[in-house]
Amino acid sequence: MNAREVEELIDVRTLLDELEVGFGQLSDGLVSAPARNEIGMPGEAYLLGMPGHRSGSDMTVKIVTVFEQNLQGAMGLPSHLAVICVFDAETGACRAFIDGTYITAIRTSASAAVSARLLAREDARALTILGAGVQGTHHLKTFPLVRDFDEIRIGSLRREDAERLAALHPRAHAVDDFEAAVRDSDIVALSSHAGEPIIQPDWIQPGTHVSSVGYKPPRGELPRGLLERGSLFVETRLAFEPTPVGCAELDGLDPASATELGEVVARKRSGRVSRDEITIYKAMGHVIEDMVAADIAIRAARRDGVGQTLRM
């Protein structure tokens, strides 16, 4: 299946629901996922390999490349490209080969939206998205599905990018002052590719939910100081491993300081415990998210007769 077919087949509301199930399986030990590996290339480009298998399902391998220079190139390629291969768990035969670029984008924003659904205050009405690229675009698609926002503020290093994105939603508008936008937001979604923090810890007010999906060593977009003021949530405690397995922002910290989203889903550990609590979700990006999204697309493709069937 190509990228257009995959995008048309994935229902985002279904993705949100099934990601919750997937996170529960991950925390229950039903997902086997070796540490992802990396091949570094010139210009800080890299390739990541992410294999995984969950009980009762197929085996999945995603290969994703990140080449920032594509954004300045003449070929019009995105910086993040991916393919996903799905293999039969009983025979090892390849069952599907699909574009993973859209899946990587939508599953990342959807996972952050799941964190907001589980952890943000029910009356959250003001959302700030910082980053107006691919992830900002998909955050604008997924977050309004989990809360009814009165106002959505979008910030970017380039004002024109923020305005372009804000034009896609009737309640969104571009902002220049990140601090002012963040200080009275109920949810702050960081979706940049910054290698340094893009907010300050004291901007975040009591009761706010913060999510961060950026992956950019050596420091990343989320300030470590914020972790001292709130409760931290992750997909898996592997997020505390050094990159490329985990997150630069969490490297060297105590894994016991975090709660897994799957533990909240299963009610094994608490999510938000008070109105004034600051909750923080730091994403590492886990293959369970790709498996869930790919499975939705493949089921829909079989149902609708979409895609090409090839003899390998």
Cα–Cα distances in angstroms (integers) from residue 308 to residues 95, 98, 198, 203, 311, in the given order? 12, 10, 43, 50, 10
Instruction: Classify strands 126-130 and 151-155 as parallel, antiparallel or unpaired.
Output: parallel
Question: Does 74 have pLDDT greater than 80?
Answer: no
Strand segments (E) across 198-297: 209-212, 231-234, 258-260, 279-282
- pLDDT score for 299: 96
- pLDDT score for 258: 98
Alpha-carbon 2 to chain mean position: 21
- Which pLDDT tens digit goes with each residue over 188-240? 999 998 989 999 999 999 999 999 999 888 889 999 999 999 999 999 999 99
**Residue 71: band (very low, low, confident or very high) from pLDDT cuts 50, 70, 90:** confident
Average pLDDT, the chain: 95
Question: Does 109 have pLDDT greater than 90?
Answer: yes
- pLDDT score for 76: 81
Instruction: Classify strands 45-54 and 31-32 as parallel, antiparallel or unpaired.
Output: antiparallel
- pLDDT score for 216: 87
Separation CA 152–CA 144 (nearest Å): 9
- pLDDT score for 200: 97
- 278, 292, 270: which is closest to 223 by C-alpha? 278
* Class of residue 133 by CB neighbours under 10 A (exposed 0-12, middle 13-18, buried 19+): buried
Q: Please state which architecture CATH assigns to domain 3-103+288-304.
A: 2-Layer Sandwich (3.30)
Alpha-carbon 80 to chain mean position: 13
Fold of 122-284: Rossmann fold (3.40.50)
Strand partners, 231: 279
* Reported pTM: 0.95
Structural domain spans, the chain: 3-103+288-304, 122-284
**Residue 310: band (very low, low, confident or very high) from pLDDT cuts 50, 70, 90:** confident
Question: Does 312 have pLDDT greater than 80?
Answer: no
- 304, 224, 296: which is closest to 16 by C-alpha? 296
- pLDDT score for 159: 96
Separation CA 149–CA 284 (nearest Å): 26
- Which pLDDT tens digit goes with each residue over 77-107? 888 999 999 999 999 999 999 999 999 999 9
Separation CA 27–CA 264 (nearest Å): 10
Residues in the chain: 312
Separation CA 261–CA 286 (nearest Å): 12
Integer Rg of the chain from CA: 19
- pLDDT score for 44: 87
- Which pLDDT tens digit goes with each residue over 149-192? 999 999 999 999 999 999 999 999 999 999 999 999 999 999 99
